[in-house]
């Protein structure tokens, strides 16, 4: 049995008092990160002047800054209230940022050039608590997360007992690490666990998906069923709301006030920060909440669709198309790039296949749209995106654009699979006539996938390339889980 490392994210339900304690732990880690960064800036200037190898060993090695933590902890006793594992990982986190900067500067890292680390604002982003050693500083017992804190000056062990929703998911699993995060007002426990993958199951039902932007994807399976998957309609609404909030926020002046930090005696500590106006902060908080909801609903959409596909099929193939900045107008480019989930969905589908014992394939879809699946005739010059249906000049077969592409993709998948499995070549035609017997529409909603039949027979409802809801069909906000027959 193959074992892999996976992530399980569960919701924590702390009391207001425990929530304040977790926030305090996060603040301390944020302070330590900034304190180490201030020292790193001094070491960087010192190394530029002296080229001292001892300074480089502290600044540019994985554990250099981490080794400074015990001395800092001895000078600042409030650090003793935090467990040693999160303190250590705050330093390692900064070292990783510095090493990433070095690799980017030397051309050893792909992507955009990464700059030198900056000071973090805890009010802008919550600093996570990371326990990287199994069973050290945390454990799960009877639906609760038992979290160890530092011992403090009295050297008494302090623990937090936090209710953990759906803790039964962790039963029988080996936990490697834990990270406590906070998004909005929601605390989460992100566990890294060891998962045992099931053995590969026999392949009997296959579907090929042609991804596009008119709909999310159009699929055809080896039993003659066509499936049109509606794109996530709510992304446009979210983007409109996000634009409104950004415009309203940017029109407001920050009106930042200079705030001096005082100690318990009311004396200035020498540190300060700038605080934006209450109106600006309110709009920013609302914007972050909307972005969070958009991100979470996007995840639900992709995982719900992937699980629904693998409940029906043993192998899911999808074309290798991914949008790369195309589009004639700015709204079109945004719809094709910002609202496209094709690339991320492939990763979700591949992982869903792996953990369910089924298979995922990605096929080369070059020429699948303009090639007639009946006779193999290729349309010279291709087909414009506005052409949703066309007829072959050679055999006069009428094609639905996406359906024809999905059939050609299915044949490419079957050609590769049949070479590995002789039984597939007997079940599925590799060439010749292929007719679609049924057409379905899938709408992915928060309660599951609603399946609507568009009829049987290759000629019925053939012109429906854009999904239009009938009066008797439920709205997306009231979708129900139904069985795809």
pLDDT one-digit tens code per residue, 78-121: 999 999 999 999 999 999 999 999 999 888 888 788 899 999 98
Whether 385 has a pLDDT exceeding 80, the answer reads: no
Whether 330 has a pLDDT exceeding 80, the answer reads: no
- Cα atoms found within 13 Å of the Cα of residue 40, Cβ hemisphere only: 28
CA distance 384 to 328: 13
Share of the chain above pLDDT 90, in %: 40
Measured in degrees and rounded to the nearest 5, phi and psi for residue 390 equal: -155, 160
Whether 482 has a pLDDT exceeding 80, the answer reads: no
Nearest partner of 102 among 65, 59, 67, judged by Cα? 59
DSSP SS3 for 415: helix
Domain range list for the chain: 3-196, 206-240+281-478
Whether 67 has a pLDDT exceeding 90, the answer reads: yes
Residues 194, 173 contacting (CB under 8 angstroms): yes
Q: Between residues 431 and 214, which one has the greater pLDDT?
A: 214
0.85 cut: is pTM over it?
A: no
CA distance 120 to 126: 9
Top-confidence range, 192-201, 300-309, 372-381, 406-415: 300-309
E strand spans, 136-239: 138-141, 144-148, 159-163, 174-183, 186-196, 206-211, 217-221, 225-229
Query: Helices 84-105 and 16-50: crossing angle, nearest 10°?
Result: 40
Whether 431 has a pLDDT exceeding 70, the answer reads: no
- pLDDT at position 371: 87
- pLDDT at position 324: 66
Top-confidence range, 136-145, 319-328, 423-432: 136-145
Does an H or E element contain 290, and which? helix 278-312
CA distance 314 to 427: 14
Residues 290, 238 contacting (CB under 8 angstroms): yes
- pLDDT at position 41: 94
- Tell me the average pLDDT across 149-155: 76
- pLDDT at position 113: 85
- pLDDT at position 484: 42
């Amino acid at each position: 049995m193959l074992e892999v490392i996976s992530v399980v994210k569960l919701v924590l339900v702390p009391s207001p008092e425990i929530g304040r304690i977790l926030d305090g732990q996060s603040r301390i880690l944020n302070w330590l990160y900034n304190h180490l960064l201030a020292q790193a800036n001094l070491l960087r200037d010192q190394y530029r002047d002296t080229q001292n190898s001892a300074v480089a060993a502290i600044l540019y090695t994985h554990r250099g800054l981490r080794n400074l933590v015990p001395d800092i902890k001895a000078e600042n006793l409030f650090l003793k209230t935090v467990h040693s594992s999160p303190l250590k990982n705050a330093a390692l986190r900064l070292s990783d940022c510095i090493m990433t900067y070095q690799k980017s500067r030397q051309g050893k890292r792909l992507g955009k050039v990464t700059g030198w680390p900056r000071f973090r604002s805890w009010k802008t982003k919550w600093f996570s608590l990371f326990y990287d050693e199994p069973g050290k500083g945390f454990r799960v017992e009877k639906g609760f997360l038992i979290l160890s804190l530092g011992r403090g000056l009295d050297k008494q062990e302090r623990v937090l007992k936090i209710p953990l929703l759906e803790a039964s998911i962790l039963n029988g699993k080996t936990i490697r690490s834990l990270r406590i995060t906070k998004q909005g007002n929601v605390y989460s426990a992100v566990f890294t666990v060891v998962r045992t993958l099931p053995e590969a199951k026999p392949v009997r039902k296959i579907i090929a998906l042609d991804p596009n932007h008119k709909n999310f994807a159009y699929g055809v399976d080896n039993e003659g069923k066509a499936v049109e998957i509606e794109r996530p309609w709510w992304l446009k609404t979210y983007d409109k709301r996000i634009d409104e909030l950004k415009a309203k926020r940017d029109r407001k002046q920050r009106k930042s006030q200079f705030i001096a930090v005082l100690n318990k005696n009311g004396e200035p500590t020498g540190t300060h920060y700038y605080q934006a106006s209450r109106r600006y902060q309110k709009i920013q908080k609302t914007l972050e909440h909307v972005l969070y909801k958009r991100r979470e609903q996007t995840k639900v959409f992709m995982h719900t669709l992937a699980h629904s596909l693998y409940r029906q099929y043993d192998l899911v193939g999808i074309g290798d198309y991914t949008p790369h900045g195309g589009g004639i107008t700015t709204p079109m480019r945004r719809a094709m790039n910002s609202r496209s989930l094709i690339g991320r969905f492939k990763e979700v589908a591949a992982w869903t296949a792996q953990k369910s014992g089924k298979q995922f394939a990605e096929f080369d879809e070059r020429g699948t749209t303009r090639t007639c699946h009946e006779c193999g005739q290729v349309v010279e010059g291709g087909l414009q995106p506005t052409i949703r249906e066309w007829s072959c000049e050679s055999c006069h077969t009428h094609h639905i654009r996406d359906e024809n592409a999905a059939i050609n993709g299915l044949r490419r998948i079957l050609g590769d699979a049949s070479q590995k499995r002789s039984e597939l070549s007997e079940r599925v035609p590799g060439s010749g006539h292929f007719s679609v017997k049924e057409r379905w529409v899938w709408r992915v909603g928060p309660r599951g996938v609603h399946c609507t039949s568009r009829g049987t027979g290759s000629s019925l409802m053939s012109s429906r390339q854009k999904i239009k809801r009938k009066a008797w069909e439920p709205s997306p906000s009231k979708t129900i889980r139904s069985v795809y027959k």
